Amino acid sequence: MPAFSFVDTGTMRYWLMKSEPAEFGIGHLERSRGRKASWTGVRNYQARNFMRDHMKMGDRAFFYHSSCPEPGIAGIVEVCRAAHPDATQFERRSDYYDPAATHAAPRWFTVDVRLIRITPLVSLAELRRHRELRNMRVLAPGNRLSITPVEPREWEFITTRLMRA
């Protein structure tokens, strides 16, 4: 799989952000105040680094439902606040509490996203059917990252050919 280029061209970047719909699905975001929320609870360093170092306000992302009967893209969101410390790392009662994190030196970051639109589900099986998407990171064997970059040509293919609504 080719490496993703992070050359800063000043243009929008595209992402795929996974969440379990039972924990936080696109419907939760739709019902949330202002239709926006922090993408909290990411506890993988590579996914954290994508948020902290590369995601910018205005970037777009596919909201992907994972660990469910039919995984797939359920909508489109936009980054509306750049990386900031994930408050759940400091909350002792949180499942995402990290005793090594401090306010002076946070370990975990989040971005805020706002709902652009809910889309017809584009299933994992549907993504796999298209040769144009063969290099998408979400389709790579063993991929478990909750946040992955999406190439502009992949974004264009999915939004214009697979999302019909």
Residue 3 belongs to some domain of the structure: no
What would the mean pLDDT of 45-74 be, rounded to a whole number?
96
Residue 6 pLDDT class (50, 70, 90 cuts): low
d(CA 117, CA 130): 23
DSSP 55: -
Model confidence at 3: pLDDT above 90: no
What would the mean pLDDT of 63-85 be, rounded to a whole number?
97
Stated pTM of the model: 0.91
Q: What is the mean pLDDT of the chain?
A: 92
Residue 61 belongs to some domain of the structure: yes
Residue 51 belongs to some domain of the structure: yes
Residue 7 pLDDT class (50, 70, 90 cuts): low
Domain count, the chain: 1
> What are residue 127's phi and psi, to 5 degrees?
-60, -40
| Residues recorded for the chain | 165
What is the extent of the structural domain holding 42? 14-162
CB distance 112 to 55 below 8 Å: no
Residue 25: CATH number of its domain: 3.10.590.10
β-pair type (36-38, 14-19): unpaired
Predicted confidence (pLDDT) per residue in 106-134, tens digit:
999 999 999 999 999 999 999 999 999 99
d(CA 104, CA 115): 31
